[in-house]
């Protein structure tokens, strides 16, 4: 009888077969991992060639048939897909990866090593850099890169500051924590073409409310690919509005302290945009200044359901 995996890498996907194919190719570019693991592909009701792509990779190496598992989750929504992955996992540790990434050689071994050496840690996040498929727009400033998945807190393992959280495209958990704090909120997160978010921050807040620390693991490093469709102003607008709508949902049952704490942070971000905007104007890149202010306005628009 085969031994249970030590760690599960979960990739949730929806109608992105080509990206998924490239992601799996980058994972196996470095060969089969030397430690026991499983790769779960949670197909969130795709209508493209996702299932065929997974079958191709299952049979591309002798061991892949057991290494990769394909699971169909018909309930639409990223949170539904992630929760299904947690339930299907056969390992004590779970790592969620996006379906549009390029893996580095250190990524998988770093996650395995971190949890092996730190079994008391319940949640952690890895480093993410951005890889543009097309040229970067002039209005895309460094401060908007986190919208595209950019996440870098340096090169050493550390606790996350109180104001920061791991990013969903590269985050790991001790599976037991979900029995204690619950799963991802299915009212939050992306559903089909909807760009709502907030399910990750909601989960991490629940974890922190139990006095657990979150850890940053820099060697668990990957590149998040950004296609042309995500580099339009309309996409950024919809993403920002979705962030505002998700924030309102998260704060519906929040305490007075949490509610005002959130808005103090939002106000500070808006104020911080002013000197940044002035800086971009001085270096003759007004499009970056304009987009910074528009992004903040769109978040508020989503929160207050403004019509214009």
Category of 198 on φ-ψ map: left (φ > 0), alpha (ψ -120 to 50) or beta: left
State how far the Cα of 214 lies from the Cα of 121, in Å rounded to an integer.
Answer: 8
Phi (first) and psi of residue 95, to 5 degrees: -130, 125
Q: How confident is the model at residue 1 (pLDDT cuts 50, 70, 90)?
A: very low
pLDDT, averaged across the chain: 88
% residues pLDDT > 90 (the chain): 55
State how far the Cα of 153 lies from the Cα of 103, in Å rounded to an integer.
Answer: 18
Check if the beta carbon of residue 82 is closer than 8 Å to that of residue 1.
no
Report helix, strand or coil for 125: strand
* pLDDT at site 11: 97
Using CA atoms, how far residue 39 sits from 44, 141, 181, 302, in Å, is: 16, 35, 24, 36
Per-residue model confidence as pLDDT tens digits over 110-150 = 999 999 999 999 999 999 999 998 888 899 888 889 989 99
State how far the Cα of 41 lies from the Cα of 16, in Å rounded to an integer.
Answer: 12
* pLDDT at site 285: 84
Token pair 């668990």: residue: 220
The answer on pLDDT for 77 being more than 80 is yes
The answer on pLDDT for 308 being more than 50 is no
Burial 181-203 (b: 16+ CB within 10 A, else e): bebbbbbbbbbeeebbbbbbbbb
The answer on pLDDT for 192 being more than 60 is no
302 or 197: which carries more pLDDT confidence?
302
Q: How confident is the model at residue 280 (pLDDT cuts 50, 70, 90)?
A: confident
* pLDDT at site 243: 81
Q: For the chain, how many residues are written?
A: 308
Q: What DSSP line would sit under 221-276, residue for residue?
A: EEEEEE-GGGGSHHHHHHHHHHHHHHHHHHHTT--HHHHHHHHHHHHHHHHHHHHH
Question: Which contacts qualify for 47-54: CB closer than 8 Å, 24 or more apart?
Answer: 47/15, 48/15, 48/16, 48/17, 49/17, 50/13, 50/15, 50/16, 50/17, 50/20, 52/17, 53/17, 53/20, 53/21, 53/24, 54/20, 54/24
Q: How confident is the model at residue 62 (pLDDT cuts 50, 70, 90)?
A: low
The answer on pLDDT for 195 being more than 50 is no
Report helix, strand or coil for 57: helix
Q: What is the mean pLDDT of residues 282-308?
A: 80
The answer on pLDDT for 227 being more than 70 is yes
State how far the Cα of 227 lies from the Cα of 15, in Å rounded to an integer.
Answer: 14
* pLDDT at site 40: 97
Q: How confident is the model at residue 152 (pLDDT cuts 50, 70, 90)?
A: very high
61 or 172: which carries more pLDDT confidence?
172
Q: How confident is the model at residue 266 (pLDDT cuts 50, 70, 90)?
A: confident
291 or 254: which carries more pLDDT confidence?
291
The answer on pLDDT for 64 being more than 70 is no
Check if the beta carbon of residue 71 is closer than 8 Å to that of residue 41.
yes
Q: What is the mean pLDDT of residues 188-195?
A: 60
The answer on pLDDT for 193 being more than 60 is no
Report helix, strand or coil for 306: coil
Q: What is the mean pLDDT of residues 72-77?
A: 94
Burial 110-138 (b: 16+ CB within 10 A, else e): bbbebbeeeeebbbbbbbbebeeeeeebe
State how far the Cα of 27 lies from the Cα of 30, in Å rounded to an integer.
Answer: 7
pTM, rounded to two decimals: 0.86
Domains of the chain plus CATH, in order, are: 7-230 (3.90.550.10), 235-304 (no CATH)
């Amino acid at each position: 009888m085969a031994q249970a995996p030590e760690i599960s890498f979960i990739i949730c996907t929806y109608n992105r077969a080509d990206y998924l194919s490239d992601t799996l190719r980058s994972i196996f570019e470095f060969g089969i991992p030397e430690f026991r693991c499983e790769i779960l592909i949670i197909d969130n009701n795709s209508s493209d060639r996702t299932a065929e792509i997974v079958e191709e990779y299952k049979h591309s190496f002798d061991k892949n048939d057991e290494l990769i598992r394909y699971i169909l989750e018909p309930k639409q929504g990223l949170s539904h897909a992630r929760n299904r992955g947690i339930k299907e996992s056969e390992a004590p540790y779970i790592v969620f990866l996006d379906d549009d990434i390029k893996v580095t050689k250190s990524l998988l071994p770093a996650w395995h090593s971190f949890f092996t050496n730190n079994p008391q840690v319940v949640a952690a996040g890895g480093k993410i850099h951005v890889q543009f498929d097309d040229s970067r727009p002039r209005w895309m400033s460094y401060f908007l890169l986190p919208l595209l998945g950019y996440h870098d807190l340096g090169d050493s393992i550390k606790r996350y500051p109180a104001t920061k959280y791991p990013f969903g495209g590269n985050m790991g958990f001790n599976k037991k924590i979900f029995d204690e704090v619950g799963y991802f909120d299915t009212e939050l997160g992306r559903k089909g073409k909807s760009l709502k978010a907030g399910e990750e921050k909601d989960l991490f807040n629940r974890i922190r409310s139990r006095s657990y620390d979150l850890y940053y693991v820099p060697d668990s490093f990957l590149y998040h690919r950004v296609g042309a469709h995500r580099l339009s102003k309309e996409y950024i607008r919809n993403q920002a509005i979705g962030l505002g709508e998700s924030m309102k949902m998260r704060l519906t049952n929040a305490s007075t302290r949490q509610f005002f704490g959130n808005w103090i942070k939002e106000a500070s971000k808006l104020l911080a945009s002013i000197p940044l905007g002035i800086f971009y104007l001085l270096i003759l890149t007004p499009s970056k200044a304009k987009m910074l202010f528009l992004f903040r306005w769109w978040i508020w628009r989503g929160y207050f359901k403004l019509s214009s």
